[in-house]
Amino acid sequence: MAVFGVRLSPLEREGTHVSTSYGVLSTYPPTQCGLATFSFALVQSLRSPGDLIGVVDVVDVASASRPAEVRHEWVRGQHGGAESAAARLNGFDVVVVQHEYGIFGGPDGRDVLDVVRAVTRPVITVLHTVLVTPTMRQKAILDELILLSDTVVTMTLTAKERLVHRYLVDSDKVRVIPHGAVDARVGGQATARLWGGQTAPRASGDGPTVLTWGLLGEGKGIEWGISAMAELRDIHPAPRYHIVGQTHPRVLERDGDAYRRGLEARARQFGVDDVVTFDDRYLDTRELGRLVQEADVILLPYDSREQVTSGVLVEAVTAGKPVISTGFPHAVELLSSGAGLLVERQSPGAIAAALRRVLTEPGLAGTLAAEADRLSPALLWSTVAQQYRDLASSALDSETVRVSA
């Protein structure tokens, strides 16, 4: 969960140039999680010569060494930590809360409510997860957070519809701003190779590369992708499946590397360990971008039926790559116009059939990549950051007095 504060002085609002300062409460690199990555990317995208950005990092243990933009650390469970965070945020004009369960301290991250109750500025809350069947406590937290917010942001229309129909939130209170992505396209255009006899592999004897990346843990569905590779042995040169990413730190703390070891054993069991490779590094943006560009197909075999936000999905589409994904809500919404193929969950056969189509059907990869290229401009961080700037401006224009709880 992250909180952004935006401060605009009255003089600056009346002038032709608006200088903005952002206070950010979030997990933040070097912490390895999706929210830290999101917050870092948004902070970098909001930077400009006239803007000031400071980060309040939510951590388990205080650190003596931290990035220059991190001005303060809130240690989870620290006495008085929520009050200190709110006091910092009240020095800004607009507070934007990035919400994900379990990031802040307390059961299901309920400590965030202590912060928001004490904030006296307009609050914009961005929801990364909207559950269809939350527990009573999860729903209570979200209900109160929405009540305390002036505006709620979701990253997909699906999430907004859940809020309106299942949580009975006023539709006018919800804005949809997509998850952002770096422009990883070569020359700003899609670069998918057209397999199926139209072009040659990148090097003699090298087959196409199927890529899955992200922090590993149960529910990623990678086991189904591994099994699918056994059904593609007749394709020559043989496609390779590249799995990139460390085990999620909290999964590693709880279960060790059992999930990864199970995946490696599955590759041996299905006789595809020669074409399935693992890279257990947490890659920076540049190196990951290079791997994505070298890939021919992006595979997202997730087990989830509820996931309404996926940064990996957005990054794959903006890279101009054909995407094969299980039908979790964000994928259904983003790929419905033809940027990828949807497959059944936990179905190696369906995954294999989709991979075979993309890798052998003349013109299909290029068609999927072209649609991804069409969608990309609206998903780039530069576009997304401007929407947050506009939303902050609207919040200030309609600012009302909030009384700290």
The domain that contains 365 carries what CATH number?
Answer: 3.40.50.2000
Residue 95 shares a structural domain with residue 42: yes
This prediction has a pTM of 0.85
Task: Please indicate, yes or no, if residue 191 is contained in any of the structural domains.
Answer: no
Residue 226 shares a structural domain with residue 170: no
Residue 71 shares a structural domain with residue 120: yes
Tokens, residue 36: 């830290």
Task: Please indicate, yes or no, if residue 82 is contained in any of the structural domains.
Answer: yes
Residue 169 shares a structural domain with residue 221: no
| pLDDT at 6 (0 to 100) | 53
Task: Please indicate, yes or no, if residue 200 is contained in any of the structural domains.
Answer: no
| pLDDT at 288 (0 to 100) | 82
| pLDDT at 187 (0 to 100) | 53
The pLDDT tens digits for 273-299 are: 999 999 988 777 788 888 888 999 999
The chain-wide mean pLDDT, for the chain, equals 86
Residue 325 shares a structural domain with residue 278: yes
168-188 residues labelled b (16+ CB within 10 A) or e (exposed): ebeeeebbebbbbbbbbbeee
| pLDDT at 205 (0 to 100) | 55
Rounded Cα distance between 307 and 65, Å, is 34
Residue 228 shares a structural domain with residue 91: no
User: Which residues of the chain have a pLDDT value below 50?
Assistant: 8-18, 190-204
Domain that holds residue 48: 2-180+380-397
Contact 176, 160 (CB under 8 A): yes
Task: Please indicate, yes or no, if residue 193 is contained in any of the structural domains.
Answer: no
Residue 27 shares a structural domain with residue 165: yes
Tokens, residue 356: 């075979």
| pLDDT at 122 (0 to 100) | 85
Residue 271 shares a structural domain with residue 299: yes
| pLDDT at 180 (0 to 100) | 94
The pLDDT tens digits for 184-199 are: 765 555 444 444 433 3
Task: Please indicate, yes or no, if residue 295 is contained in any of the structural domains.
Answer: yes
Based on the structure, what is the number of domains in the chain?
Answer: 2
329-362 residues labelled b (16+ CB within 10 A) or e (exposed): bbbebbbeeebbbbbebebbebbbbbbbbbbeee
Residue 318 shares a structural domain with residue 332: yes
